[in-house]
Every structure is written in C-alpha cells, then in structure tokens.
Amino acid sequence: MKSDATADANNPALSRRRARTRGEILAAARAVFAEKGYHEAGIAEIMQRADLGVGTYYLYFRDKHEAFVTLISEGLAGLRNRVLAQLDGVAEPTLALAAHTIFTAAYEERDLFRLALMDRNESLQTWNARSLLIDGFTQALLQAQTDARLPASASVALLARFITGVITGAINWWFEHDTPSPDEMTAQVLSFLGGGALPASLVGTWPPTSGA
Amino acid sequence: MKSDATADANNPALSRRRARTRGEILAAARAVFAEKGYHEAGIAEIMQRADLGVGTYYLYFRDKHEAFVTLISEGLAGLRNRVLAQLDGVAEPTLALAAHTIFTAAYEERDLFRLALMDRNESLQTWNARSLLIDGFTQALLQAQTDARLPASASVALLARFITGVITGAINWWFEHDTPSPDEMTAQVLSFLGGGALPASLVGTWPPTSGA
Amino acid sequence: MKSDATADANNPALSRRRARTRGEILAAARAVFAEKGYHEAGIAEIMQRADLGVGTYYLYFRDKHEAFVTLISEGLAGLRNRVLAQLDGVAEPTLALAAHTIFTAAYEERDLFRLALMDRNESLQTWNARSLLIDGFTQALLQAQTDARLPASASVALLARFITGVITGAINWWFEHDTPSPDEMTAQVLSFLGGGALPASLVGTWPPTSGA
Amino acid sequence: MKSDATADANNPALSRRRARTRGEILAAARAVFAEKGYHEAGIAEIMQRADLGVGTYYLYFRDKHEAFVTLISEGLAGLRNRVLAQLDGVAEPTLALAAHTIFTAAYEERDLFRLALMDRNESLQTWNARSLLIDGFTQALLQAQTDARLPASASVALLARFITGVITGAINWWFEHDTPSPDEMTAQVLSFLGGGALPASLVGTWPPTSGA
DNA sequence: TATGAATGAGGCTTCATTCAT
DNA sequence: GATGAATGAAGCCTCATTCAT
C-alpha cells in the first residue's frame, strides 16, 4: 500500500497508464453523452463502451457529473486556446477571424459541441459553450469600444448575445447537416453580420414608420 | 346514461371543475419545470405546489412527459397564433413586426420560454421553440423570395437559423435580466439585423482580404 | 336525511331499486372477474360495465373483496341448494346424482365456476368451490359409512379429495371446450369412478408386484 | 477484455458467486410466493428474506414475474425428468409408477407445488403444473391406445383430466396435512383409480337405472 | 489498479377508497 | 342515492455509487 497522493509524480509509467485509461473513459463518455444526452446516459454504458469495469469509473471521477464537466471544460478550453492563438498578435482582430476558428473547431468536434450546447444544466452554466462564447465576445467588444472601433453607445452585452446566437444557430445546423464547410459557413455568417444578407425592406423598422 | 365520451358536455359544473384543476396542475408544472428543468422536477413537487394529491396528476395526464409536452405545445401554439394574427393582412410583413410580437410574448411568459428553449428533448424536437421559430422564418423567407423581396441566391435555411439564433439569444438574456423592454429589445435586434450595429471593420471579411 | 338502517324495510320501492342496482353491479363484477381474474380487475372497470359511477360501488359493498366473495358464496349457495334439492328424499343418494347436478350447474355458469376455482385466495379458502365440494363429499361419504354403504376402513377425507379432483378436472375442461354436454360428462366421470375406464394392467399396483 | 458474453466462464469464482446469489433469491422467492401468493408477495419482502438489497433482485431477473416463472418452470422440468427417468426402460409403464414418482417429488417440495398449482396466471398456462400433468398423461394414454393397452374408444383427453384431478387433489391434501406418506398416498390413489374404493352402489349409474 | 456484484434511496405510477356535490 | 374527482399509500423498478476481492 504505497498508494500515495503523489504516486503519479513518483511513477511516470503509472501516470502514463492512468492518463490513457482516463482518456478512454472520456472518449467513451463523450460518445455516449452525445448520443443519448446527459440524463439518459448511464455509467454502466459508458464503461462498457470503454471496455472497463464500472467501478473503474470512480477511480478517475468523483461522480457522474464530473466526466461531463471535464469533457466540456477541457473541450471548451481547447476552443478557447485555438481562438486566442489565432487572434494573438493580430492588431485588430475581426469577428471573421474568431468565427472561422470557432466554426472550424465546432465542425471537427460536433459531438462535443452538441454536448456543450445541449443540457442547460443549472450548475453548469459556467461551463456552457454559450457562456464561453458570450463572455468571449463581450470582452472582445469591450476592447473594441476601448479602441474606439465600436461606438461607446453600443450595448455590448446584447450584441454579444446576438452574435453568440448566430454562431450557435450555425453550429446547430451542423447537428443535422454536413454541409456547408466551415469556410463557407463563415462567409455566410459574415455576410449576415455585415447586414448584407437581409434587404432593409424585409427587416423593416421599429417602431414601424408611419407608412407601414 | 354513464358510458358517454362527452360526459363533460353533460355536466358543465364538473367540466368547469376539471378544467380548473387541469389549469392548476399545468401552472404548477410550468413553475417547477422552469425552475428545475424537466429531469430534476418531480411529480410530487408539482402536485404539492398545486395543492393537490399526487394521484390527481394521472387523472389529467398520462405520464410525466405529457404535462411537459402539453405546456410547450399549447404555449407555442399561442405564440404562433399571436404572430400570425399580427402579420395577417399586412401586405409586406417585416422581421420587425414578427420580432416585436415574439418578444412581447416571450417577455410576458419567460418561464414558458425557458422551458421551450431548454431541454433538447429527443422526441420533442418538433415542439421545440427553436424549431417553431426556424420553421416560421424559413417559410417567411421563402415567401419573400417568391415575392422577390429576397434574392433567390440567399440561403434561406441558414438565414432562418441565424435569425432564430439572434432572437433566442435575446430571449435568453431575459432569463437573467428584466430589462430592456420588448420594445427596446426589438429596436436593438433590428439595428443588429440591419447591419447597423457592427462596423464593417470589426466584422471583417472572409476570406480575409490581403490587407488583413 | 331519513336514511336509516331499516330504510329498506320501510320503503319497498327503494328496496327493489337497491336490489336491482346491486344485481347489476354483481353481474358486471362477475363478467370482469371472470375475464381478467381478481387482481387484474378494477373497481372502475366493473362500474363502467355496470353503467354506474365508481362511488356507487361502495354503497353496496364494503370493499373490492366483498363483491367477489358475495359472487362466489351466493353462487355456491345456489349450487348447494340444487344438489340438496336433488338428493332430498332419495333414499340412497349416488355420486351419479350429485355429479350430474353439479355438472349441469357448472356448465350453465361456467364463468362463475372459473372464478370459484380460480384464485386460491388465502382468506377465501372457506368460500372456495373446491372446499364446498370437498366438504359435501366428505359428509356424504361419512353418511355412507354410517349406513354401511361404504366400508369403515375407507379414508373418507382422501376419497372426498379424489372425487373432487375428478369433478373439478372435468369442469376445468369446459373452460376451454364446449363439449361434451353435462349428461355425457356425467357418464364419462361415472365410468371413471366405477373403475371401468382404466384397465388394471394400465393402472398397475403399488407397491409393484414382483413380476413388474 | 471486458465485453464478453461468456464473462462467467472466464471467472469461475464470480460465476460461482452469481450462481449462489441467484439460488438464494430463488429460495427466498419460493418461500414468500408459496406463503402469500404471487400478488401479495413483494420484491422487498423476498429480498429481505434473502438478506440482500432490493436492487440485487434486478441483477438476476428482469422483473417480478421472471423469478416466479423460473421457479415453476425449473421445478416442473425437474419433476418431468424424474418421471421420465423412472419410466425409462420400463416396458409397460403403469400409472402406479408415474403416480409414485410424482407424489414423492410433490411431497418433498410441497411449497413449490403449491406455487405451481396456485395462480392460474394467464400467460403461464403452459408452465402450469396442471398443464404439465395433463399433457404427460395425455401422451401416456395415447401411447397406451397405440399399444392396445387402452381401448381405442376411451376419451383420452378427459381421462387425462380426471387422473390429473385425482393427483392434484391428493397433492392439495398435503398443503394442509403431513400424512400419509407418498407410498401410502400412492396406494390410496391406485385403489381409487382401480375402482376398488367406491362400491358400485354408491357410485350409481348414469343415466339412472329405472330402479333408482 | 481493476472489477462487477451489491446497495438502497428515490422516482414514477396504480388503484382501492373517500367525500363534497 | 348517485357521482366522479381527489387522495395517498404502496409497489415496482432504475441507477449512481460503494466495496470486497
């Protein structure tokens, strides 16, 4: 019984084995959660797909929730890093750049995003894809206001929600369809955000002009 | 003369009582579902809030699912009617008109919309608020194409998703905040949809122009 | 509120009405019990078939059990009376006479007998068709012993069980078939009871004779 | 290497454990079912008597029904084998032989037979003790007809029911009494089946002779 | 470390029975 | 008397979690 909190650090081989098993569990969890949703998924089914015993799950995760949270937070951390990497060093980052990175990632890992957008699980709010996007856009827009690239009068909070809505709307589309490609999707979204997609007459005004 | 499918019609008093009880259950269910989500809600809790015995639930609904579905489908039917009524007779309906009606309804019945947007419940897809909006906008845009108010080249399916994304993004905001009013929200969204909210330099282009 | 324990006696009309309703409930109960068995039958179903409200049931019977018991005990009392009437005045009653009466009644009211033979309901033992038959035959055989028509060495208790077994075996047959008629059935059973149906070589002996 | 339908075979220790638990559940179920009948018995009570948690039941049986069916079908299969083994190789099998084997088994496992004769459970008909006996005797008698040991005119179907009735009547007796022994019971039944137990004058004739 | 049998709280649902109308 | 809405105890079953091997 030399099991120790620092066992991992002491024994690189063990550590590597642990990491692999953990990864297998996460992969299985991802597949099952994506397929059936958080509530309908069962630990037994996950571990069966991972070709491991049920009990093993609890050697790596505290409870059912944890693998789910881990899955999403690790996935979203990856997304976050990719976006930051893209934007890093760019003098004046555009939505175009951000959207393209997000779409590329989302298209590649659709099942993960299905999860991340799916269960509006109370305590999870923080680790929700939506929240991450909203936060990201909020910060970006605030920065843009600081840089005077966006009028100070703009309602940043709402704008961030609107943009997030468009992005998630697009990703949702991919849950049912395989086209268009992330590139094409980016172009479509940009056109939409730029205001070029909807004729003014179709959009209308509010309050309605007298003529209406 | 008992065996009669129209027993209700025979006795108005009973019929009224039944309707009232049913309404009370639905109201309680709405509150509880909105507060805790479908899965965490329990029949016992619903009926306790309705001040009725557990068994009574099953006199009005087949199972746990049914009240949920009823709630959403009846709610969305109401929304649908309101929108249709607003647009009815208007020669050239605008997004402005539609958005304003939707926002007014959504603001009034926030908990219902929280439900309707919440659980991405498998078999419910059809009675999802998102689906309803997507379908509605899809049809409206198709009509606009027919009327040549929208270029034939526009990708209706995607546009409908984008617009729906913006609308639900706005409604989501209200789940956490009480302002702005539906009127103001409509104005904000219209400005966004019209392309006037985001400067072109911020949006950028895709593929990025050489200059970027 | 002149409802009184003696109301029935005071008001013949009411009494007649009560009797009729009671009869209708019993008829419906008989049908439903016979069709689905005691446990699967429900008060609601019975009263629906009787074209009466659920609550009405409890104006006539204390609980679910009571109608069942009533049904069987009244039915068996009828059988008892028929048999006694047949045997009454006969100097030396035979099994033939008893069997024929029983078969005639059982054939006419198969559903009742299905009930009476069906649920081996603990507390019901006493009001079981089997028990009634066993008791009847036991008494008859004891009487026969007293009259020296049956050897004193005979094991009356067992004989009564055997005869009852044959009789119920025959009645069971009718739960699945409509022939033969009670007359023919009586003849078959008598032949069997008389020992003429099974050749001695087929029956064999116990303990086996050396030759076997 | 987890996913394996033959997991049991891989690990004899676990396999043995599983078998033991399963046996304990079946034993407890047998006791409880026999004592209170199928409907009044509860999973909780069964598992309490088995000294196991409720949930464990469902690791071994799909639902409440399954243990009951298993109990009876396994029990009857055992009876069937015993009888067949006894009769195997005997040139001219007699009822004596069959009855004795049946009685010996029934006496040893009275509670099982109580179950098997008890609930006339709809879908169970096939796995009813009564049905098994009837089928067995039917086949035996048909064979006897083929061998000319029984007149071709005999109504095999009815005879099988009568014999079964006598046998079950005898077994029923044991549900309330401990004597006589299977040997003595066999003798009594044989005497009855041979026609030596009931004087012709007591049996009578059908239709009644003029003199009666 | 890995396993999978065992656990039991908790959820949904039924239905005999009551009671206000 | 008749009704049927309301009741709630009780039962079956699931599944996240534990623990002995």
Q: Subunits with at least 3 CB pairs below 8 A relative to chain C?
A: B, D
- Amino acid B210: pLDDT: 54
Quickly give B52 CA vs F6 C1' distance in Å.
8
Please tell me whether any atom of strand E lies within 7 Å of the Cβ of A3: yes
Instruction: Count contacts between A and D (CB, < 8 Å).
Output: 7
Cβ-Cβ pairs closer than 8 A, A with B, add up to 177
DSSP three-state, residue C34: helix
Give per-residue pLDDT as tens, D116-145.
887 665 545 556 889 999 999 999 999 999
- Find the residue in A nearest to B93 (Cα): A202
Residue A212 has pLDDT above 50, yes or no: no
B58 touches strand E (CB under 7 A): yes
- Please check the confidence at residue B74 and state whether its pLDDT lies above 50: yes
Model confidence band, residue A154 (pLDDT cutoffs 50, 70, 90)? very high
With a cut of 80, say whether residue D11 has pLDDT above it.
no
A-D interface (Cβ pairs under 8 Å ≥ 3)? yes
Nucleotide nearest to D13 (CA to C1'): F21
* Res C175 pLDDT > 80: yes
Interface test with B, best of A159, A206, A209 (most B CBs within 10 A): A206
Cis peptide before B207 (omega within 30 of 0): yes
> Which range in A12-21, A109-118, C41-50, D119-128 is most confidently predicted, on average pLDDT?
C41-50
Written as one string, the DSSP assignment of chain B is ----TTHHHH-HHHHHHHHHHHHHHHHHHHHHHHHHHHHH--HHHHHHHTTS-HHHHHHH-SSHHHHHHHHHHHHHHHHHHHHHHHHTT-SS--HHHHHHHHHHHHHHTHHHHHHHHS---GGGGGG-HHHHHHHHHHHHHHHHHHTTSS-TTS-HHHHHHHHHHHHHHHHHHHTT---S-HHHHHHHHHHHHTT-SS-HHHH--SSPPTT-
Instruction: Provide the shortest C-alpha distance from residue A203 to chain D (in Å).
Output: 57
State residue B181's pLDDT score: 96
**pLDDT classification of C178: cutoffs 50, 70, 90:** very high
Tokens of C30: 């008989």
Q: Is the CB of D9 under 7 A from strand E?
A: no
Interface list for chain B against chain C, based on CB atoms closer than 8 Å: 1-3
pLDDT in tens, B173-197: 999 999 999 999 999 999 999 988 9
* Cα distance between residue C103 and residue C167, in whole Å: 8
- Give the pLDDT score at C2: 43
What are the tens digits of pLDDT across the range A64-101?
999 999 999 999 999 999 999 988 888 888 999 999 99
> Which of A137, A192, A205, A191 is closest to B191 using CA atoms?
A205
What six digits make up the tokens of C29? 């109960």
DSSP letter for each residue of A83-123: HHHHHTT-SS--HHHHHHHHHHHHHHTHHHHHHHHS---GG
Q: Per-residue pLDDT averaged across C9-17, rounded?
A: 72
Nearest 10 degrees: Cα torsion A89, A92, A95, A96: -80
Give the pLDDT of residue D56.
Answer: 98
Is pLDDT above 70 for B124?
Answer: no
Pair B80, B45: CB distance under 8 Å: no
Q: At what angle do helices D110-117 and D129-146 cross, to 10 degrees?
A: 90
Average pLDDT over residues A58-63: 97
Q: For residues D8 and D18, what is the distance between their CA atoms, to the nearest angstrom?
A: 9
Q: Which of residues 89-148 of C touch strand E (CB under 7 A)?
A: none
What's the Å distance between residue C42 CA and nucleotide F9 C1'? 17
Confidence band (pLDDT; 50, 70, 90) for A210? Answer: low
Chain A 139-168 contacts with nucleic strand F (CB below 7 A): none
Task: Indicate whether D10 pLDDT > 80.
Answer: no
Query: What's the CA gap between A111 and D79, in Å, rounded?
Result: 56
CB contact under 8 A, B173 and A167: no
Nearest nucleotide by C1' position to the B55 CA atom: F7
Q: What is the pLDDT of residues C59-91, one digit of tens each?
A: 999 999 999 999 999 999 999 999 999 888 888
What the block records as the tokens of A196 is 């070029």
Interface contact flag, A96 B165, Cβ < 8 Å = no
The answer to whether the beta carbons of residues A165 and B179 sit under 8 Å apart is no
**Option in D96, D158, D189 nearest C173 (CB):** D158
B149 touches B62 (CB < 8 A)? no
Asked if the model's pLDDT at residue B120 lies above 90, the reply is no
| CA-based nearest residue to A142, from A93, A212, A201 | A93
Mutual angle of helices C95-108 and C129-146, in 10-degree steps:
170
Cis peptide before B151 (omega within 30 of 0): no
- pLDDT above 50: residue A2: no
- Give chain B's mean pLDDT: 89
Q: What pLDDT does A169 receive? A: 96
Q: Which two tokens stand for residue B130?
A: 């998102």
User: B107 versus A114: which is more confidently predicted?
Assistant: B107
Q: Which of C38, C45, C40 is nearest to C67 (CA)?
A: C38
Which nucleotides in chain F lie closer than 7 A to a protein CB?
Answer: 1-21
CA distance C65 to chain B (A): 22
Q: Which domains does chain D have, with CATH numbers?
A: 11-61 (1.10.10.60), 68-194 (1.10.357.10)
The residue ranking higher by pLDDT, B12 or D2, is: B12
> Which nucleotide has the least CA–C1' distance to A17?
E1
Q: What is the pLDDT of residues D56-93, one digit of tens each?
A: 999 999 999 999 999 999 999 999 999 999 888 888 88
pTM: 0.88
| Partner-chain contact A201 B92, CB within 8 Å | yes
Does B122 score more than 80 pLDDT? no
Name which residue leads in pLDDT, D24 or B123: D24
> What's residue D125's pLDDT?
54
What would the mean pLDDT of B88-95 be, rounded to a whole number? 87
**B3 contacts in chain C (CB < 8 Å):** 48, 51
Question: C26 CA to E21 C1', in Å?
Answer: 27
**Residue D97 pLDDT class (50, 70, 90 cuts):** very high
**pLDDT at residue D17, as a whole number:** 85
Q: How far apart are CA D79 and CA D87, in angstroms?
A: 12
Q: How far is the CA of C58 from the C1' of E18 (A)?
A: 10
pLDDT in tens, A175-184: 999 999 999 9
Q: Which nucleotide is nearest to B58 (CA to C1')?
A: E13
A6 DSSP assignment: T
- Tell me which of D3 and C139 has the higher pLDDT: C139
Chain mean pLDDT for chain A = 88
Identify the closest residue of chain D to C200 by CA–CA distance.
D194
**Is residue C128 pLDDT above 90, yes or no?**
no
Please state the rounded mean pLDDT for residues D101-126. Answer: 80
Q: Which two tokens stand for residue C86?
A: 């047949």
Share the mean pLDDT of chain D. 89
The answer to whether the CB atoms of C199 and D164 lie below 8 A apart is no
pLDDT over 90 (residue D26):
yes
